[in-house]
């Protein structure tokens, strides 16, 4: 077992793991026997029991099946997953897990659920410069676990509108953006995910801040938005209706999903071009010249936002 100082509280993952271990030992089972019953490997059971890894939602559901505790370990695991999140963010996480449809508008960063670990790490390092590497790692792991909603038998539909500035903002540097944009393109191919880009050439956005609209299983909508210090969920019919109208205007002004994929590939090409430059070697004049070429690859403002002109043309 991993050692800890006397009086030091158990981590949520460790606490969950000890509950699994206690249930296993009460049955008189070895880790191998439990692994067989859960249809997983013994090393995974060991990591869960030692708190080295928070169990997956599927693992918790299997434990409920094996131990005859409907929903007990699933709820316990979910509390462990939410532990450490700001109290004001937990209601959103619950809504996100239970939503039928999620509509997101982002104008600064790619939505958390679509971020790569490297991109998320860069975001957290910038927002929490005093955090230790271990704390940053925990934050990233929590964000990555949000992807589990797409592992459900009936995952939600996710509709994302990104302002074009989000694509050109080199969060974490060129290499991080290369991986992130490839991941975004891959996600946009999912039948459950649609991605649209609001181009620079669109009219003034109908909303100047990021926000989410979530449709619950009963068909009702709720609004989630964040301020500098916290986020809040609002289910006021008037407020939600206003937000829904704003989202529909954003969707109308954005490029189509197919055009958006072409633009993302175009931006990806620009980052790939940059990744071959090494400012630490060679002539700096050449580096500056190449950087100028990258800027020239950005979209030229056309007379109408429905017509796109790029240099060079994005690959179809």
Give the 3-state secondary structure of 19-70. Answer: HHHHHHHHHCCCHHHHHHHHCCCHHHHHHHHCCCCCCCHHHHHHHHHHHCCC
User: How many residues are listed for the chain in this entry?
Assistant: 316
Mean pLDDT of 121-127: 95
Domain end marker among 35, 50, 82:
82
pLDDT of the residue at 286 = 42
Whether residue 140 is found in the same domain as residue 205: yes
Pairing mode, strands 101-106 and 157-163: parallel
The answer to whether residues 39 and 175 belong to one domain is: no
**Residue 260 scores a pLDDT above 70:** yes
Short-list 142, 132, 131, 117, CA closest to 13: 142
Rounded Cα–Cα distance for residues 114 and 193 (Å): 10
Residue 39 lies in a domain: yes
Q: How far apart are CA 230 and CA 178, in angstroms?
A: 30
Domain count, the chain: 2
**Is residue 129 predicted with pLDDT exceeding 60?**
yes
Task: Compute the mean pLDDT over every residue in the chain, rounded to the nearest whole number.
Answer: 84
CA dist 177 and 98 (Å) reads: 30
How would residue 9 be classed by pLDDT, with cut points 50, 70 and 90?
low
The percentage of residues in the chain with a pLDDT greater than 90, rounded to a whole number, is: 63
Same domain, 103 and 251: yes
**Which residue shows structure tokens 């903002």?**
169
Name the band, by pLDDT with cuts 50, 70 and 90, for residue 294. very low
Residues 176 and 56 in one domain: no
pTM for this model (two decimals) = 0.69
CATH code for position 33: 1.10.260.40
Same domain, 128 and 203: yes
From CA 12, how far away is CA 78, in angstroms rounded?
10
pLDDT score for 172: 96
Identify whether residues 127 and 54 lie together within a single domain: no
The pLDDT of residue 288 is: 44
Check whether 82 has a pLDDT greater than 60: yes
Q: Does residue 305 sit within a domain?
A: no
pLDDT tens digit string along 38-51? Answer: 999 999 999 899 88
Q: Which two tokens stand for residue 263?
A: 């633009």
Phi, psi dihedrals of residue 105, rounded to the nearest 5°: -120, 125
DSSP 216: -
Contacts of 292-296 with C-beta under 8 Å, sequence gap 24+, read 294/270
The answer to whether residue 48 sits within a structural domain is yes
In the chain, the percentage of residues whose pLDDT exceeds 70 is 83
Residues 94 and 75 in one domain: no
Name the residue with higher pLDDT: 66 or 228: 66
Structural domain of 162: 90-255
Q: 170 and 69, same structural domain? A: no
Q: Which of 82, 183, 56, 88 is nearest to 138 (CA)?
A: 82
* Lowest-pLDDT choice from 5-14, 157-166, 182-191: 5-14
Range with top average pLDDT, 91-105, 111-125, 204-218, 276-290: 111-125
């Amino acid at each position: 077992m991993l050692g800890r100082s006397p009086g030091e509280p158990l981590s949520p993952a460790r606490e969950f793991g000890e509950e699994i271990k206690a249930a296993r030992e009460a049955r008189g089972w070895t880790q191998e026997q439990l692994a067989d019953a859960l249809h997983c490997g013994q090393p995974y059971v060991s990591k869960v029991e030692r708190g080295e890894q928070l169990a997956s939602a599927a693992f918790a559901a299997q434990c409920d099946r094996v131990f005859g505790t409907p929903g007990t370990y699933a709820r316990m695991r979910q509390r462990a997953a939410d532990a450490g999140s700001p109290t004001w963010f937990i209601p959103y996480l619950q809504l996100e897990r239970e939503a039928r449809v999620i509509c997101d508008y982002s104008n600064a960063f790619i939505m958390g659920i679509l971020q790569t670990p490297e991109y998320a790490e860069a975001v957290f390092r910038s927002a929490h410069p005093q955090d230790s590497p271990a704390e940053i790692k925990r934050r990233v792991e929590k964000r990555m676990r949000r992807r589990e909603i797409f592992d459900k038998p009936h995952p939600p539909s996710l509709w994302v509108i990104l302002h074009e500035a989000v694509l050109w903002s080199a969060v974490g540097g060129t290499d991080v953006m290369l991986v992130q944009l490839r991941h975004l393109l891959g996600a946009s191919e999912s039948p459950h995910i649609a991605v649209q880009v609001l181009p620079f050439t669109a009219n003034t956005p109908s909303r100047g801040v990021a926000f989410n609209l979530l449709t619950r299983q009963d068909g009702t909508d709720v609004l989630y938005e964040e301020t500098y210090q916290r986020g809040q969920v609002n289910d006021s019919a008037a407020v939600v209706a206003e937000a829904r109208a704003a989202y529909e205007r954003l969707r109308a002004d954005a490029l189509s999903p197919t055009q958006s994929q072409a633009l993302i590939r175009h931006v990806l090409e620009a980052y790939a071009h940059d990744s071959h430059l090494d400012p630490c070697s060679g002539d700096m004049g050449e580096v500056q010249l190449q950087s100028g070429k990258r800027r020239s690859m950005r979209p030229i403002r056309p007379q109408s936002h429905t017509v796109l002109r790029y240099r060079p043309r994005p690959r179809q």
